[in-house]
Amino acid sequence: MSACFGENPELWFAAHPRNQAKAKAICGRCPIRQECLEHALKHKIKYGIWGGLSHAERYRLTRTPAVADHE
């Protein structure tokens, strides 16, 4: 079960950084955090905290160029 189950959903869609931090702390102890993040990335969800990341953080994650391994 997700760590956010039963929590106030508004925490994940709050504009204030303090409330975002609360949501991210809950995500940090979630056993399905990775699956949640993958869902948000796959579906290009623009709002809220998903898998412990805000939209801006998810955007940066997907825009980071891959580094080639030249070994």
User: Where do the structural domains in the chain lie, given as residue ranges?
Assistant: 9-62
Residue 62 has a pLDDT of 87
Angstrom distance (rounded) from CA 63 to CA 71 = 24
Residue 9 has a pLDDT of 92
Q: Half-sphere exposure of 33 toward its Cβ, with a 13 Å CA cutoff?
A: 14
Residue 40 has a pLDDT of 97
- Do 42 and 28 contact (CB within 8 A), yes or no? no
Please list the pLDDT of the chain residue by residue as tens digits (71 residues): 999 999 999 999 988 888 899 999 999 999 999 999 999 999 999 999 999 999 999 999 988 676 655 54
Residue 70 has a pLDDT of 55
Single out the residue of 54, 67, 7, 3 nearest to residue 33, CA to CA.
3
Q: What is the pTM of this model?
A: 0.82
